[in-house]
Structure formats: structure tokens, C-alpha cells
């Protein structure tokens, strides 16, 4: 798709990205979703690592200063920095069976959510070029004086992410402005995530500010219902 090619080029290009294996960044994640899940608000900055050419991610510290997560679509684990195992599931989706928005989460639930969500965000828009991802351009969205082009992605089952269908909005400069999805692991509520404040990580551009709101029936974010707030800093490609 020509539009996707232009979007990827605007974000740094596939060829430049091929020289690297993973992206690392400091993240601070808070918001109204976590108290709903029985989790304390924690503004500690953590180091997030997302692989670029396979779906894998890790964040540290997690739960203790000497612990980290290890996420893939087939497995979620909390482990010590020396690799010794603290907890794991080899069937992560089963952890969320029957969950509603208010169902409490434990460490493995949060680790899985963090892993697939941050992998998705740190690999956007490049993941839209993955094999098996279906794309459809929707009608443009008018936001103030700007017209945003919208790509609807249908993700294959092998990719762990928020929901099978997601919409990505790109501004006149082809930078990501908004990302819509349903949070299947939290009762399937509709979210509209606003993005901005782009930073340069070794030639690859990514938004450093993400704010996910409940999406209202008018398809707009509900400003008083901030569910997840993510601030990203000090990114680097390795």
C-alpha cells in the first residue's frame, strides 16, 4: 500500500530500522485503568525493551529491584535479573478468561498487558507491514483544521495485541496522531489513544507522549476518562 510506504518512510524507513535488533526507552505509565485493576499508581520510571523483528519485550524493574518481565505471544514470565523464574504462564490469554473491566489483576496480568501493549506502540507503524496484517484505508477524519488519514488494521492471531481490529490516524505530516482499539483483556472497552511529542531514536521517529481515553459513542475520546498515560524518554536503538 502506497500510503503505508509513505508513512513508514516518514518514520525513518524500513532499511534504517533493519540495522537494529531492539529499541530501549524509559517509560512512566499511570492512569485510571490500574486502580480499577487493584494496582497502585506508580510513577517510577522503568526501562522498556521491545524487539524489532520478533514479538518480544521486557521491562525492568518489575515488582522488585532485581526482577524483570519476559514477554512473547506464547509465554509471560516474571524472572530475576539472573534469569531464575519467579512466575510464568505458557497460556497467557487464559489468565484473562471471564475478565471484565473491574476484574483485579496480579503480576502476570500486568506483565502481559505491558508486554504486548508496549511492543505494539514501540513498533508502530512498522508492524503494519508485518506478514498477515490486513489494511484498509477508511474515510479521512477531520480534527480541527487538519484532515487525518485512517488505516484500519486487521491483525492475525499470531500477533498478541489489544484487539484484532485497530485504527491508526495519521496527520498531514504522516505522523501518528491517534490509535483506536478495544482492550480485550479488560472487558473489551473501546479506547482512543492520542499521541504526540515525537522524538528521534537513532533515525527512527516515535511519539513520546501517549494518552489513552475511553472512546465515546461519537468516536471521540472522553477527556474525563483517562485510562492509561505513557511518557517515553531516552529512547535508543541497539
Q: What pLDDT, on a 0 to 100 scale, did the predictor assign at position 114?
A: 98
Around 99, how many Cα atoms within 13 Å sit in the side-chain half-sphere? 22
- Domain covering 2-233: architecture: Clam (2.50)
**8 Å CB contact between 205 and 212:** no
Residue 216, pLDDT > 90, answer yes
Whole-number percent of the chain with pLDDT over 70:
100
pLDDT digit string (tens) for 82-127?
999 999 999 999 999 999 999 999 999 999 999 999 999 999 999 9
pLDDT tops 90 at residue 1: no
Structure confidence at residue 41 (pLDDT): 87
Mean pLDDT of the chain: 97
Is the pLDDT at 2 greater than 90? The verdict is: yes
Domain-wise residue ranges, the chain: 2-233
Position 151 pLDDT exceeds 90: yes
Does 80 have pLDDT greater than 90? Answer: yes
Cβ atoms of 52 and 13 within 8 Å: the answer is no
Amino acid at each position: 500500500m502506497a500510503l503505508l510506504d509513505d508513512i513508514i518512510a516518514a518514520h525513518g524507513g524500513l532499511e534504517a530500522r533493519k540495522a537494529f535488533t531492539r529499541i530501549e526507552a524509559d517509560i512512566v505509565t499511570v492512569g485510571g485503568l490500574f486502580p480499577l485493576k487493584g494496582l497502585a499508581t506508580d510513577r517510577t520510571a522503568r526501562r522498556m525493551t521491545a524487539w524489532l523483528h520478533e514479538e518480544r519485550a521486557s521491562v525492568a524493574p518489575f515488582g522488585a529491584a532485581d526482577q524483570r518481565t519476559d514477554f512473547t505471544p506464547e509465554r509471560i514470565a516474571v524472572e530475576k535479573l539472573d534469569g531464575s523464574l519467579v512466575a510464568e504462564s505458557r497460556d497467557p490469554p487464559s489468565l484473562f478468561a471471564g475478565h471484565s473491566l473491574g476484574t483485579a489483576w496480579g503480576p502476570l496480568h500486568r506483565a502481559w498487558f505491558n508486554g504486548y501493549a508496549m511492543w505494539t506502540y514501540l513498533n508502530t507503524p512498522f508492524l503494519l507491514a508485518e506478514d498477515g496484517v490486513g489494511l484498509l484505508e477508511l474515510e479521512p477524519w477531520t480534527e480541527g483544521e487538519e484532515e487525518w488519514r485512517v488505516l484500519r488494521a486487521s491483525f492475525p492471531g499470531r500477533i498478541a495485541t489489544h484487539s484484532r481490529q485497530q485504527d491508526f490516524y495519521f496527520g498531514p505530516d504522516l505522523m501518528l496522531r491517534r490509535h483506536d482499539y478495544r482492550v480485550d483483556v479488560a472487558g473489551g472497552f473501546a479506547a482512543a489513544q492520542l499521541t504526540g511529542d515525537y522524538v528521534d531514536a537513532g533515525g527512527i521517529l516515535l511519539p513520546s507522549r501517549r494518552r489513552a481515553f475511553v472512546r465515546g459513542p461519537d468516536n471521540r475520546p472522553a477527556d474525563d476518562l483517562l485510562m492509561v498515560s505513557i511518557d517515553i524518554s531516552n529512547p535508543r536503538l541497539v
